Amino acid sequence: MAQLWGGRFTKETDELVYRFNASIGFDQRFYEQDLKGSMAHVKMLSRQGILTETEEEQILAGLEGILTDIKAGTLPIDESCEDIHSFVESTLIDRIGDPGKKLHTGRSRNDQVALDMKLYIRDEIREVDGLLKELLGVILTIMEEHTKTYMPGFTHLQKAQPVTLAHHLGAYFEMFKRDRQRMGDIYKRMNFCPLGAGALAGTTYPLDREYTAELLGFDGPTLNSMDSVSDRDYLIEMLAAFSTIMMHLSRFSEEMILWNSNEYQFIELDDAYSTGSSIMPQKKNPDIAELVRGKTGRVYGALMSMLTTMKGIPLAYNKDMQEDKELVFDAIDTVKGCISLFGGMLATTRFRIEVMEKSAAHGFTNATDAADYLVNHGVPFRDAHGIVGRLVLTCIEKGIALDDLSLAEYQQISPVFEEDIYEAIRIRTCVNKRNIIGAPGEEAMQEVLRINRRYMEEQEEITE
Ligand code: ARG
């Protein structure tokens, strides 16, 4: 059992205690960040005259070697070490001897782990942002193809007013765009370097924290050493933002599941994204969408766990904080997997244009427009509402649409109706008259598509 702190102890740690305490099983995930952080630390120590240039060179070469070998798979991570930090340091000492023992000068594992986690999370936030951008690309392409695909818009899951597929998907475009903004905000707020905070109270060595921060691409050093080692706000913010991403994906999944059902038949999921039933030969199940919806719970759970873990912790570092890793890693894997798979599923989905249009035409989605027609001919809206309500009732009794009533039938209920009522309540007329920005009308939609296309071209991915 390789551990860094045997000096003051007289007994061996109990094996079970040792295992319970150890984090190597999961923190090896950020070995690269740990090594890069150590390299920056060593460069700074040498610049400050705390290490000699020769020591710097020896340690850096040792760390580079460890990085290369772990990556190449020739240096297996020894799980009997307590954590990744201990593994790297003991391997370094094995390989280069005494100079390796100076690596940890002016540093504690508390500021080290705070740094490693931040470096790791920065990379992951950038990746999630990139995946969201790809998903936005898929959505936008479908939107551009479907500005004339009419479908019912729903409230209370009841057909309400006609929209287009472009407009419906445009709602999700806005959601995932905000999700990207949240990634950028979190990145900016967390991007300060905790190294140099030591165990909790800084250090007596003359460290140049600005320099370390700069080497590692941070906007500067953190300003309070106690906060630096015990701040996990950025993880909570990230899990909250991830929960929102999952909530969006889950709503979208729910719609895909509904739309793919026999009752709707608005879409057909690709075979590659569906599964069969072991007993019912006719089945083609939307498992991927269901799993995305289901996995949302895991990510919400991680957020709740993290908030609960942090709520009673006195300043500064406490071991409870080690619990952040497995939760966060699982949430990251889940979110990344769900965004990618959902994007693939969406990109291969077949939209059944005729079924959507037919559904919009049946279900009185043009009833508001029939009332608006009367209003435009001087009938007060409340009266118009009543008149159209009676027309709808007649249609329901006959099992027809408003479009199928004869002019005589219209005029029997209100003499204001003329032949042009039919044009006024055509689904495409209803949609295209809604032409203010944000509405589904063709011109308004084209303007939004232009704005969103420009966003895709101009909106940089998050960089250091
Ligand atoms: N494995 C620990 C963690 O993840 C690293 C910090 C350990 N510090 C300490 N004083 N035991 O939080």
Nearest by Cα to 369 from 308, 279, 429: 429
Task: Round to whole Å and give the CA distance between 216 and 193.
Answer: 8
pLDDT at 211 over 80: yes
Average confidence (pLDDT) over 257-265: 96
The confidence score (pLDDT) of residue 284 equals 81
For a pocket test of ligand 1, which of 24, 86, 113, 329 has the largest count of ligand atoms closer than 8 A to its C-beta?
Answer: 113
pLDDT at 6 over 90: no
Which residue numbers are catalytic?
Answer: 156, 277
- Please name the residue that has the structure tokens 């070490």: 81
For a pocket test of ligand 1, which of 232, 322, 328, 329 has the largest count of ligand atoms closer than 8 A to its C-beta?
Answer: 322
Lookup: tokens for 322:
């080690």
Proportion of the chain above pLDDT 70, given as a percent: 99
Look at 248 and 15; give whichever has higher pLDDT: 248
Average confidence (pLDDT) over 14-38: 96
Q: Is 14 exposed, middle or buried (0-12, 13-18, 19+ CB in 10 A)?
A: exposed
Average confidence (pLDDT) over 106-135: 98
Atom number of ligand 1 nearest to Cα 22: 1
Any residues with Cβ below 6 Å from ligand 1, and which?
A: 23, 27, 83, 109-110, 113, 317, 321-322
> Which domains are delineated in the chain?
6-105 (1.10.275.10), 117-152+162-199+223-353 (1.20.200.10), 359-443 (1.10.40.30)
pLDDT at 409 over 70: yes
Cα radius of gyration (the chain): 31
Burial 233-254 (b: 16+ CB within 10 A, else e): ebbbbbbbbbbbbbebbbebbe
In this prediction, residue 276 has a pLDDT band, given cuts at 50, 70 and 90, of confident
Q: How far is the CA of 82 from the centre of ligand 1 (A)?
A: 9
- Please name the residue that has the structure tokens 């094995």: 94
Chain mean pLDDT for the chain: 96
Atom number of ligand 1 nearest to Cα 117: 4
pLDDT at 1 over 70: no
Task: Round to whole Å and give the CA distance between 120 and 32.
Answer: 9
In this prediction, residue 2 has a pLDDT band, given cuts at 50, 70 and 90, of low
Atom 12, ligand 1: residue with shortest CA distance: 322
Q: Count CB-CB contacts under 10 A for residue 286.
A: 22
- What pTM did the predictor assign? 0.94
DSSP state of 104: T
Average confidence (pLDDT) over 88-110: 98
pLDDT one-digit tens code per residue, 346-397? 999 999 999 999 999 999 999 999 999 999 999 999 999 999 999 999 999 9
Q: How far is the CA of 109 from the centre of ligand 1 (A)?
A: 6
pLDDT at 281 over 60: yes
Atom number of ligand 1 nearest to Cα 85: 5
163 beta partners: 151
Q: How far is the CA of 452 from the centre of ligand 1 (A)?
A: 45
Q: How far is the CA of 319 from the centre of ligand 1 (A)?
A: 6
Q: What is the DSSP string of 142-174?
A: HHHH-TT-EEEEEETTEEEEEEEHHHHHHHHHH
For residues 222 and 194, is the Cβ–Cβ distance under 8 A? yes
Task: Round to whole Å and give the CA distance between 197 and 192.
Answer: 12
Task: Round to whole Å and give the CA distance between 369 and 364.
Answer: 10
Average confidence (pLDDT) over 223-228: 98
Q: How far is the CA of 386 from the centre of ligand 1 (A)?
A: 70
C-alpha distance from residue 70 to each of 76, 84, 236, 331 (Å): 6, 12, 30, 25
